[in-house]
Every structure is written in C-alpha cells, then in structure tokens.
Amino acid sequence: MARTKQTKAKRKKLEEEESTTTEEESTTTKPQPQPPKNLFSSLLPPPQIRTIVTQYLQDDIPSHFDVGGHVVGNTIQTAELWMKSPGVLAGIPFFNATFDVCGSCTIAWEDIAIEGQSYPNASGDNKIKLATVTGPVSHLLRGERTALNTLSRCSGVATLSNECVQIAKSNQWKGLVAGTRKTTPGFRLVEKYGLLVGGAATHRLDLSQMVMLKDNHVWACGGSIERAVKKARVVSGFSQKIEVECQSLAEAMIAAEAGADVVMLDNFEPEQLKKDAKVFKEKFPHVTVEASGGITMETMPDYFSEDVDVISQGKLTQGYDCVDFSLKIVH
C-alpha cells in the first residue's frame, strides 16, 4: 500500500516537472518572422494579384522547353535581393506573388525591408540586402525578372510620388497630390499601388470608379456641359462622383450648377488658376477643385492654393525612374 502511494506521488511529481518544462519551452520559443510592415497589401485580393502576376510570367516564360531551367535543374538554392539605387521600397506583394505562382519558393524579408521606407543611401557600392528567396533554382530564375520588374517600377512610382508629397508638406499645402489614369497598359495596379505607398492619391482606378466628363465627352454630346452632367447623373445615381474637365471659370460654374462633384481646371496658368479657384470656391465651397495639365514636380509649388484641393500629374506614372534591384544566387 505504501509502495502504491509512493509510486503515485512519484508519477505526479514527474507530470508536474513535464508540465513546467513545456511551459518554459513555450515561453522561450522565438516568435515567428513577421511579414514586412505595410499598410496597403490587404487592398490586393490574392486571386486578382495571382491572375495578374501569372499573366506577367506568361509573357516571359518559354512557351515550350525551358532550356535554361534544364541547365540549372531543380536543386534547392538561395538567392538574395539587393537594392542598388536610392528610393522608396514598394511592390512587395507583387514580388511575393511572383514566387508563389512559380511554386515551391519561400521568401524571408529582412527587418529593414519596410514598404514606404526611403533608402537614400542605397547604391551599387552600398547595396542593401532586403530579402532571401529559397526554392528550386529553375523556379527562382523563372520568376527573377518578373519579380524585379514589378518591384523596380512600383518603387520608382513610390519614390517620385513621395518626392512630390514632401514638397507639398514643406510648403504647408493641405491638398492631395494625385496620379492620373495615364498608366502603363497591363501594369496599372502596380503603378497605382506605388502611388499609395509613396503617399499620393491614386485618382480613379478605371473608367467605372468615377465619372469624368472630358472635353471630348462634352463635344460628342452637342457641347452642353449641363446636358452631359445631368445625363451622367441619371445612371450614376448617388453612389458615384462626377468630375468635369473645364477650360475656363465659366465652364466650372456651369458644371457645378449642373451637379458636378469635382471640377478640373485644366491647363490653366498658375496665377489664373489660383484667382479662378478662389472665385469658384466662394460660390461652391463643397465642390472639389482639381488642378491638372502640364504640371510637374518643379512647377507644382506655383499651383499651391488653399482653394485647390487636388493637384494631379500624369508624370507620376509616366515619367518615373526605376529603382535598381538585383536578385543573385548565393554561391
């Protein structure tokens, strides 16, 4: 009897020791690596981004035999992503999706790799390691160029956008710097995402997001801004804004009277724009005023005014410099 009690006591003690050990192990387990911090990746639905990236890859992947892939084989190897020119990092979701579609690849991002972060000291002589990609070497090489193309271009848009946003802030202008619909065909989502990461507004993403009645629309329906706005309002209802491109203050007034939510003062000289925007806002303070047409980063400060809500530039997605990245096999 005494032996039975002793055995039970010993078993209980062992169980307590095992429980304590398990708890200590769980508390000392290192936290799992977290994905790079960014605020906008959840905007990109995985099925959509996979479809887009798959199309990019199909442009580049051989339609028949991949001889280069045959040469290197499918051994598991590692490649390192390096940033080699200054800029703002953007496009991580597209980089990740590329190797996800290629299959059997994993990516470990460095702690310093943060979307929206500027790396002004990156250069060919001062390369910054951002990530390590591991997988079958043929898969790494199939995805390499597509992944770098999206990352370099998205980062280029973010860099230029951020420069313009910083100019606006330094001049205490409270409005929005925005892109336009002048994007690269097939690459719009990447460039629009770059605008966001750089701190700029995307403007409308496509023809269905906001109604914009340009000069061609007005001319094609008889030259009447009022008729064009009212016809658009019938089908767009309360859920869509209507913007009208205007060549004069008089056109902007007509557009607002007809119910436009936004007026674009297009191709105005800076002083005339600020003068007309002030007159317009006195009568229609609730209508958004956008300045556009030939505005660049250098001339943008000339258009800053408390009566201008948005300054849009096509150059943000048409005239950006790509940021230089490389992906090198570790050897």
Positions annotated as catalytic residues are 182
**Closest C-alpha to 151, from 199, 208, 85, 207:** 85
203 φ/ψ sector (left φ>0, alpha ψ -120 to 50, else beta): left
Q: Compute the Cα dihedral for 181, 183, 185, 190 and give only its sign.
A: negative
Q: By the 8 A CB rule, do 328 and 132 touch?
A: no
Q: Which residue has the tokens 């032996």?
A: 3
Q: Which residue has the tokens 């002083």?
A: 271
Cα–Cα distances in Å, from 284 out to 176, 213, 324? 19, 19, 46
- Calpha distance 77→62 (Å, rounded): 22
Cα–Cα distances in Å, from 235 out to 223, 313, 319? 20, 29, 35
- Calpha distance 203→208 (Å, rounded): 12
**Closest C-alpha to 310, from 136, 175, 209:** 175
172 CB contacts (<8 Å, ≥6 apart)? none
- Calpha distance 42→133 (Å, rounded): 22
Please, which residues bridge with residue 80 across strands?
Answer: 132, 328
120 CB contacts (<8 Å, ≥6 apart)? 86
